[in-house]
């Protein structure tokens, strides 16, 4: 394992179309998930694959799961997951660059 002791990747998505109605319909609900990476060797392919898997799992958590009969909901969730994973791409690259350089960093960001 590398010397990077603390990594956190925050994934945040606006989930307006996939959450129950809230008091103010004009403000989307913000949902977030932390992807922990301290236990991964991000300089290895296996560690990077594990990180990618955790990002996908976190996107599923923040975007939720619609009813399969709700076609608009299915589409909204798919779009949310794609946007959330894309938003994490820049953070992922910074984490991997730091891991390759052996630089310890702490990273958390909001979208």
| Structural tokens at position 7 | 């990594």
Domain boundaries, the chain: 8-101
**Which residue has 């984490």 as its token pair?**
95
CA pair distance 34, 61, nearest whole angstrom: 10
- State pLDDT tens for residues 41-97: 888 999 999 999 999 998 898 888 888 899 999 999 999 899 889 888 888 988 888
For the four alpha carbons of 91, 96, 97 and 103, in that order, the dihedral sign comes to positive
**Which residue has 């959330």 as its token pair?**
84
| Inter-CA distances, 101 with 17, 30, 33, 51, 96, Å | 41, 33, 26, 17, 9
- State pLDDT tens for residues 5-44: 344 566 555 443 344 444 445 566 777 888 888 888 888 9
């Amino acid at each position: 394992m590398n010397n990077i002791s603390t990594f956190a990747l925050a994934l945040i998505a606006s989930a307006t179309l996939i959450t129950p109605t809230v008091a103010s319909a004009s403000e989307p609900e913000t949902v977030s998930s932390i992807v922990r990476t301290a236990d991964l060797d991000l300089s290895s392919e296996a560690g990077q694959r594990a990180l990618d898997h955790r990002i996908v799992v976190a996107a599923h958590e923040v975007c939720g799961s619609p009813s399969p009969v709700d076609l608009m909901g299915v589409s909204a969730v798919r779009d949310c997951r794609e946007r959330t994973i894309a938003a994490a791409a820049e953070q992922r690259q910074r984490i991997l660059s730091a891991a390759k350089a052996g630089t310890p960093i702490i990273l958390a960001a909001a979208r």
